[in-house]
Amino acid sequence: MPPASDERPQWPDGAKCIAAITVDWDGHSLEVGRDLEPVGIRAAGGYSARRGVHRMLDIFGRHEIAATFFVPGYDAEQHANGVRELIAAGHEVGAHGYTHESGVLGREEEQELLERSHAILSDVTGTPPVGWRSPSGRKTHWTTSVLRRLGYIYESSDKDYERPYPTVVEGEPSTEMIEFPNNTLGPGLDDAPLWTAGVAPYEVLDLWKAEFDAIYADEGYFVLTFHPRAGFGTGTPARAHVVDELLTHIRAHDGVHFTRFDELARWCLEADHGFLDPPARIGGRP
Amino acid sequence: MTADVRWPDGARSAVAVTVNFDGESVERTADPDAPQWGRFSYGRYGAQVGVHRLLDLFERSGVAATFFIPAWDAERHPDVAERVVAGGHEVAGHGYHHEDFSALDIEQQRDVLKRSEQGFERAFGQRPAGWRAPDGLMSAETRSLLAERGYEYESSFPDDDLPYVVATEGSDRLVELPVFAGASDHHYYRAHRLPAVVERAWQDEFDAVHRAGGLFNLTLHPRGDYGSGRAVRIGPIEALLKTVARRDDVWVATCREIAAHTLATAAGAPLPA
Ligand SMILES: [Zn+2]
Ligand SMILES: [Zn+2]
């Protein structure tokens, strides 16, 4: 249970609420990883690199915010220049699988793919990524140990809490890695289930504003996850406009601190900020 | 046919606030091999976050609710079990591990009920008086089995506006408290409806049930995906509870109280199971 307000951990800048805008690139990697040819209706991932990412860069630039992009290794190989543009614009690039592998893999195969994507992103951006988000939100008991060994300081896949907490590594809460829970399949702050269910852009805007308002009044931990692709994503004009309007709404509130995840992770890993010592044991166990 | 139950103190309708505590057992039953991380951690959200939000709301609204809890989840989260009981709420059965009772034969069902009751003894120091089928699924024998094991009520059948007494083999004391999707959260949130829509839908549902003189069996879940645990989803519940509290002709009670009242006032022959 969240503690009373005087025991709450402190956000950076003395902020009342942090806002982390996270974008999962999810280009053709998603279809390729499922052995589907990315053609016809299965070509929606191509929209990310052609249009969606640039539209997001434009929106973020106008609102002067820095975001975190999670990019599958395969997409980074295909669009190395596009990924470098993200870095040049001040955004963070985190890892998100090689071909968006979404099943539970054998230990060796999983490790090999995590290492391969890590090497690709390090090479393309010139800096090793420090964060990871599971493609399709799956993890195994050993995923976080591999990530920690590669130097990652956060991961963002679990749906079980409403503020950062120590990542469970080798079955124990880590003091070197922070968990940023995000709400994906839950019909709140991930675009894919909403667009897939036929929810209209104006309804999504209403929902995201309502989610933000409730979080602003409560835990102060707002994490939005969306995709710049077409299909289940938010890259197309009317949907991207929802992001634009939402950012306008958020920025009209006092005390909101927009953050990249890598910056927030470094903040949360400093013991005196209170995130390493949650009120109860949080996170998965066998 | 039983004569229709009349609500106490001249109330026109009754409201039960119920919570199906669908915790980690839901994910574990759905896919026992899937590690409980990432997309398989919404049940844990319910236990770590959502249930506390609901309990906070019930506390400030002065509502005694009925929690249907798989015994495994109750034992996994002793802090939750303790807080639910300390809040004056009723706890009732919901499988040991959120099992699909329609897929179990009668001996397996008996075994699961036994393990669930033993888990309740350990977690709450008492046996459950009531039961609700996980996902509403059961077999034709389940209600007889519940009656045989001394349960006072069951709450899974969407087949009447009012509670009624079920005639089972060897007992005519089991009460059914009907339950409907329109008065639940998961029905809407699984379809990605907005909280504002749910708020409106519940108000309309309640108004109509009140006019019909029935039982409004509100069914909530603490989960982060199809449940009401998120901050933004507390609003519709709070609005409904306020609407109910503004009326002086609504009886708000726990399921066990409603079952006892039904049994005490029911006239005529029980309905066959
Ligand atoms: Zn993805
Ligand atoms: Zn259930």
Beta bridge partners of B271: B166
- Residue A284 contacts B, CB cutoff 8 Å: yes
List C-alpha distances in Å: B217 to A46, B157, B201, B254.
48, 11, 14, 10
Q: Which string of DSSP letters, residue by residue, matches B63-103?
A: ---EEEE-HHHHHH-HHHHHHHHHTT-EEEE--SS---GGG
- Residue B30 contacts A, CB cutoff 8 Å: no
Predicted pLDDT at B131: 98
For an interface test with B, the pick among A158, A160, A215 (most B C-beta atoms closer than 10 Å) comes out as A160
List, for residues A101-132, the tens digit of each pLDDT value. 987 788 999 999 999 999 999 999 999 999 99
What's the whole-model pTM score? 0.90
Predicted pLDDT at B268: 55
Is the model's pLDDT at A2 over the cut of 60? no
Provide the pLDDT confidence category of residue B269 given band limits of 50, 70 and 90. low
Q: Stretch A58-74: mean pLDDT, rounded?
A: 98
The CATH number for B63's domain is 3.20.20.370
Beta bridge partners of B15: B216, B252
- Residue A253 contacts B, CB cutoff 8 Å: no
From B32, which residue of chain A is nearest by alpha-carbon distance? A286
Output the six-digit token pair for B224. 């982060």
DSSP H helices, A35-79, are: 46-47, 53-63, 73-78
Give residue B62's domain range.
8-272
* 8 Å CB contact of A211 and B232: yes
What does pLDDT average to over chain A? 93
What does pLDDT average to over chain B? 93
- Asked whether residue B1 is domain-assigned, the answer is no
Number of domains in chain B: 1
Q: Stretch A149-156: mean pLDDT, rounded?
A: 98
* 8 Å CB contact of B49 and A162: yes
- Residue A102 contacts B, CB cutoff 8 Å: no
Predicted pLDDT at A6: 52
Q: Stretch A173-197: mean pLDDT, rounded?
A: 89
- Asked whether residue B202 is domain-assigned, the answer is yes
Q: Report ipTM for this prediction.
A: 0.85
List, for residues A68-100, the tens digit of each pLDDT value. 999 999 999 999 999 999 999 999 999 999 999
Predicted pLDDT at A285: 77
- Asked whether residue B3 is domain-assigned, the answer is no
Give the closest-approach CA distance of B159 to chain A in angstroms: 29
Q: Stretch B164-184: mean pLDDT, rounded?
A: 89
- Asked whether residue B2 is domain-assigned, the answer is no
Predicted pLDDT at B265: 87
Beta bridge partners of A18: A221, A257
Distance A100 CA to ligand 1 centre (A): 6
List, for residues B15-26, the tens digit of each pLDDT value. 999 999 999 999
- Give Cβ neighbours of residue B211 (< 8 Å, ≥ 6 apart): none
List, for residues B216-259, the tens digit of each pLDDT value. 999 999 998 999 999 999 999 999 999 999 999 999 999 999 99
Is the model's pLDDT at A1 over the cut of 60? no
Q: Stretch A10-16: mean pLDDT, rounded?
A: 95
Distance B134 CA to ligand 2 centre (A): 4
Sign of CA dihedral B58, B50, B53, A205: negative
Q: Stretch A1-23: mean pLDDT, rounded?
A: 81
Share of chain A above pLDDT 70, in %: 96
The domains found in chain A, sorted by start residue, are 12-273 (3.20.20.370)
- Residue A170 contacts B, CB cutoff 8 Å: no
Provide the pLDDT confidence category of residue A181 given band limits of 50, 70 and 90. very high
Provide the pLDDT confidence category of residue B1 given band limits of 50, 70 and 90. very low
The answer to whether residues A228 and A243 touch, using CB atoms and an 8 Å cutoff, is no
With contacts defined as CB-CB under 8 Å, which chain B residues touch A181? 41
Predicted pLDDT at B270: 65
Q: Stretch B153-170: mean pLDDT, rounded?
A: 90
Nearest to A139 among B33, B37, B224 (CB): B37
- Residue A215 contacts B, CB cutoff 8 Å: yes
> Is pLDDT larger for residue B272 or for residue A240?
A240
The answer to whether residues A209 and A249 touch, using CB atoms and an 8 Å cutoff, is yes
* 8 Å CB contact of B38 and A138: yes
